[in-house]
Each structure stands twice: as C-alpha cells, then as structure tokens.
Structure 1
Amino acid sequence: MSDTAAAAENGANPEHTRGGTYSVKGKEFTRDTRYINTRITADGQDGFPVEPGRYRLIAARACPWANRAIIVRRLLGLEDALSMGLAGPTHDARSWTFDLDPGGRDPVLGIERLQEAYFKRDPDYPRGITVPAVVDARTGAVVTNDFAQMTLDLSTEWREHHREGAPDLLPDAHRDEMDDVNRRVFTEVNNGVYRCGFAGSQEAYDDAYARLWTALDWLEDRLRDRRYLVGDTITEADVRLFTTLARFDAVYHGHFKCNRQKLAEMPVLWAYARDLFQTPGFGDTVDFRQIKEHYYIVHKDINPTGIVPVGPDLSGWVTPHGREALGGRPFGDGTPPGPVREGERVDPANTPLS
C-alpha cells in the first residue's frame, strides 16, 4: 500500500502528510485495513468475472504489498491473462504516478495518477490511494485494492488461466497452518517493521521493536530444520515473508530503526531469504534502487535530507545458501516460471542477479 495512505490511516493530518509526515507524536502506528473488497471471481459474484485481458494489475516495485502480487502473478504465469502497469518509486500525498512510462501515462489506462482510477470508482473516494490495485480496463475504475485477498484469488479464481506447471501456493493439506503463520507474520513482521518506523513515541517504538524481534527469532528457529515456512514447497506464506526480508537490510534496519541485527547477521533467515531470492519469480521481481528511493525520499519526517544511501552491498544475495540440504521441492509437482517477459524486467543495474 502507499505509505502516504498508511500515514493518513495512522491519524496524520493531511496537511502534514503532504509534507512527508508519517508518524503521529505520542501515537503508535495502527494500519487501517479497510480496503475495496470487491472480488474478481470465476463466477463473477461481485459483478466482475475473471476474463483474460479485461483487468490490469497496478503495482510498484518499491512496495512490499504490491511486490507480493507481482511475485504471485509471475509464479502462476498469469502474464497473458492479467496485464501489469508499474508506478514509479516515489509519490506525493495525492497518488502514485506513472512517471516510468513514456509521457508519464500508463499505456493501457491512459492515466497519469492511479488516483484517477480510484475516482472513476468513487468520485469522493475518501481513503489512501494504494497499490496493488486491480483496474477494470473497460471502465478505467479500480475493482479492488485488497492486497491480501488479491493474491489468494489469483491462486484460486484465476486457476483456469495458470501456466502449465504452475505451483500450488495454497495447498489444502497445509491451509490451516499457513493461515496461522500468515496472521503472525503479518501482524508482527510485515506490519511490525512499520510499527517501529512510524512509532510516535518511545514507548510505542519499544513495544513494536520487542514484538518484531520476538517474531524474527521465532522464524529463525522455525526455519532451522525446514526449507519453507509450511510444508516442503513454496507457498503464499513464503511470498508474504520474503517481501519484508528483501527490504530489511536496505531500509528497515536503519530507516525504520529495526536494528538489533541485520538480516545478514541472522544465519537461518539470511540463508532462507537468499534461497528464495535465487528462485525464479522472487529475486527477479526485486528492484533495490526503487525500494531505497521510495522509503528514503518519501518519508521526509524520518529522513528529512532525502539522501538515499549507496549501500548496502547487494552481492551477498547471490552467494550460496546451502538450503538444498534440507530437501523440499520448491515448485512441488510444478515447474519454475520461464524468463521474465520483455518490458517487465528489473533494470539490471538495480539487482545483483544481473
């Protein structure tokens, strides 16, 4: 989601948000999870049936919540069924913008700001303009920005359009366990880093910090003798954790003060993250330059100079991880996705995979 939206949802004055203020003095960060929960389903129960070519996923490589959707779409091979537009890494209080595209407009929707698609849905839309969002290309209006449900539906409702060999990211045999893991990872880790970074008091920060590191220690122990979070294959749970780990040393450790250790100093989690990063569909979606630009430029109250750090050294992401010794089958009975599509590749200068 947009960090501008996160700030507004945390109770920040809109005027302050325009100035890049994301924490509220004396308050802990509380994420408002009220999203547009319309679903795109095989039976079209909400009025939006799955139709190849009709919808456009709008994402941003900088955003961890959007990165989930990018990964799942690629793993499942939905590129031909669901097109993708990418907003640039920075934005103002109004909206994410399409400044990466020629003329500053999304080539399919023809809009400069994602805000336009939200206002097509509701001219008085009152909440933050968030990514990921799925837009109906016929009308130009947002259908949903419910990032958690979005990837679940890509696995289930869009199944008819999956590539041959697509992995099962939601295995029935492990669904209850996966749901439990996902809940803890979301509250304590995915959102936990934001609770640290946007804390408005020392007390709120101290509490968030303790909760985050309790959860990371739990994950370090859980993954010590198993290759993946749930079962012996990659699942949605791994996707959800990965996008936070990929940003940890680059931004969360310093920028959000999550600094007990670097990810690279936690041997199990660091090896696990490298294993996923080196798996097709994960690292090839990560753009470290855009990630750093987003956090360090947009969050002006946390980083008032707007200086983007040069480090950290990214070469460690492609070093051997040794996790194969734990067994497991990354794609289960499926196969890895093919090469990244032309036009969707990360700039080679921004990833150590190049």
Structure 2
Amino acid sequence: MSTKEIKPVTLKIRPVETKTEIDERGAFQRQPNHFTRPFGDGEGELKAAAGKYRLFWARGCHWSNRASIVRELLGLEDVISVNQVGHTEDPERRKYGWEFVYEPDGKDPVTGAEYLAEFYYRADPDYTGRTTVPALVDLDTYEVVNNDYHRLTNYFETAFKPFQKEDAPELYPEELRQDIDNFNDHFLFPFVNNGTYRMMFAQSLVAYNEAFEDFYNALDVIEAKLETNRFLFGDYVTDSDVRLFVTLARFDTHYYRNLGPLKKRISEYKNIWGYCRDLYEIPAFRNNTYFHDIARGWDTKKEKLFVDFNSRFADDIDFEGIWSQPHTRHYLSKTPNQKFLIRK
C-alpha cells in the first residue's frame, strides 16, 4: 500500500436498480456512466501513460469483463495494472457495493481501498449513482477517471496503441470503426448486452416481453450473420466480438435463473455456439472467463427444500470441457489459423 496522503471519503448505501432505474412502464433504464472524460491528445482529455492507471473489474460483470479481455489481447498487462472486486456474504458490507474479496486482508494492495466506492466518492463526493465496474483509477489521485464501458475498450485500442505489444491485434481498425460503433451502440447494447438486464430487471410483463422479443430477434440476426462469417465483421476478431462473447458466456450459465421460460439456450444456436467456442480457444478470453464464479449458487448451505439448480450442481459442471468442444468455424475464414488482423 502507498503511503501517499489521500482524501478520506464517506461511503453511501448503494442504490438498488429495481428501485431507482425503473420507468413508469416498469422497464429498466440503466443509469448513465458518470465518468466519461475521453482519452486523447486534446485539451482536458485524459492522457495514456504506462503505470498511471489501475483497472478494477468483476468476474460476474460482463461490462467490465470486456476491458479485462481487451487489456490482455493488446498486451497491456504491464501498462495498466488490474485487480478484481466482488461481494462478501456479509449483508452489511454488501450495502456499500463492490469489495476486494480476493485479498486476504480485504484491501487492494496498491491503494489500500476496501471498497470500490472510495474511488468514486473521492472523485465526486456528491455522486449518487451505483459505483460500477469497469472503473479506471488514476494512481496519482486514487480517483476514478473513467467508468465508461461504452468506450473504455476503444481507448485501450487507440489511445494506448503506443504501449501495446508489438504484434497486438487490430480490434478496432480505422476502416471499420464507423460500422463497429454503429453495431455496438445501436444493436448489441440495446438488444443483447443490456437486453438481458432489461428482462431480468423488468417490473412489468409488457416491459419483459418487449425485452424478450428484442433479445431473441437479435440472436436470430446474429445466427444468420455467423452462417457465413467466422466473426461478426468477417475473418478477424474485433471489439464487437468481445462485447458479444461476454454476454453469451453468461446466458446459459447465470442469466437464465432470473428469466421465465426460455425460447432457446445459447448452446441451441448452431452458429453462435460454435462461434463462442472459437473465441474461447483464445487465451485472453479463456483466462478472463470464470465460469464457476459466474454460475455460483445462491444457497450454498442447501438447507431449504427447494434449492436453485446452480446451488445444487454448478460446482460439478465441467464448463472448461463444454466450452472446449471442437468446432468447424475455421473453414469460414480465408485465414483458418489466424483469428486477428495484425499490422506491423
């Protein structure tokens, strides 16, 4: 832990989505990101630098899982440090949001923080929203400077390019950026990534059914697209594939528990399921996907008469074996053994 002087903070109770982010129709309206200052060379913009920032993310959170995967794909491990947050079983501590549950003393070893919220309230004492991941923290001030999951991976791909490994993949090639942004912002986010939460947090059947139809209609579009495309934009993995993968990896494993009758499981889509396994072969995807944590049961004591499926069986499921099954996606590509566009 650093000995630098840091501003003390007063913690606040974490708001509950189903109380504060539901509209008059009973539909979930996700809170906007608060710390959205961009990276760039312009006045007032954040500057990319090695060793200046620390990324906090959570194993169960697909919004933050994107950033951890991209960080490793681009070889930024020695440039942006990282730690994971989670939740304890203590209801009193859980009220304050994400904690450093994987540390023996419950504190981030670099900053000494116990709660992610400390970085938020240090940056803005008047902040009233949920303290979310991903959170990129400035190690000079111990303040969160960016929590914009919409753009954070793009900043890693562009602003941090001088710090990327020599053979880093082009996940956000200039010639595709407009198409990637349009697909991410106007299709993936509303219908797939946030579509699962729109179903899970819906407080009316009208809102639930609307989200349900949006989600499954989007999967039908993707399934058709992947009939001839190895990845979403052709032969090579892009930023969009990372964003889709993290949601798909959680659907059959976790999200299904908060939904009603399912139209289909992800594993029932021939092309999508093969695509998932194709991506999972890539070390950065596999290394940052913690299936047993994602699928963790709610009733670990198993003392009730009715115990949810994951509490009973998740520890016994061979997720690694299931997701490592062979596939034939290679033959859709002109470069079967090359999954990334790499420009020297």
TM-score normalised over the length of structure 1: 0.82
Paired with 1:5 and 1:168, the residues of 2 have a C-alpha distance of: 38
CA 258–189 in structure 1, closer or farther in 2 if over 3 Å, else same: farther
Question: Which has the higher mean CA deviation after the structures are superposed, 53-62 or 254-263?
Answer: 254-263
State the partner residue of 1:317. Answer: 323
For 1:278-289, what aligned pairs fall within 5 Å after superposition? 278-289=281-292
Are the counterparts in 2 of residues 197 and 257 from structure 1 also a CA contact under 8 Å?
no
Judge which range, 26-35 or 139-148, deviates more.
Answer: 26-35
Q: 1:281 aligns to what SS in structure 2?
A: helix
**Is 2:222 the partner of 1:216?**
no
Which one-letter code corresponds to 2:311 in the other structure?
V
Q: Number of matched residues?
A: 314
Superposed CA deviations along residues 237-296 of structure 1, whole A, max 9, x for unmatched, are: 000000001101001223333711111111110000110011121122100122123x95
**C-alpha distance in 1, partners of 2:42/2:245?**
31
Unaligned runs of 5+ in 2: 1-12, 300-305
| Corresponding residue of 1:338 | none
Residue segments in structure 1 that go unaligned for 5+ positions in a row: 14-21, 298-303, 336-354
Contact 2:22 2:29 in 1 (8 A): no
Percent identity between the two aligned chains: 37
Partner of residue 55, structure 1:
53
- Name the Cα RMSD after superposition: 2.5
1:71-150 → structure 2 map (5 Å cutoff) = 71-89=69-87, 92-150=94-152
Matched, 1:261 2:264: yes
Partner of 1:167: 169
What is the distance in 1 between the residues matched to 2:115 and 2:68?
Answer: 20
Contact 1:6 1:31 (8 Å CA) reproduced: no
- The alpha-carbon deviation at position 177 of structure 1 amounts to 2.0
| Structure with the greater alpha carbon radius of gyration | 2
Match of 1:346 in 2: none
Partners of 2:150 and 2:324 in 1: CA distance: 29
Match of 1:342 in 2: none
1:248 paired to 2:251:
yes
Please name the residue that 1:38 is paired with.
37
After the TM superposition, which parts of structure 1 deviate over 3 Å for at least 4 consecutive aligned residues?
Answer: 4-8, 22-26, 304-309
Once residues 176 and 231 of structure 1 are traced to their aligned partners in structure 2, the CA distance between those partners, rounded to angstroms, is 15
Q: Residues of 2 paired with 1:214 and 1:7: CA distance?
A: 29
Range 224-233 or range 28-37, more displaced: 28-37
* Shift, 1:147, TM fit: 1.1
Please state whether the residue corresponding to 1:259 is helix, strand or coil: coil
Residue identity in the other structure for 2:341: G
Once the 2 structures are TM-superposed, how far is the Cα of residue 33 of structure 1 from its aligned partner? 2.1
What is the rounded CA distance, in whole Å, between the counterparts of 1:324 and 1:169 in structure 2? 19
How far apart, in 2, do the equivalents of 1:105 and 1:195 lie?
33
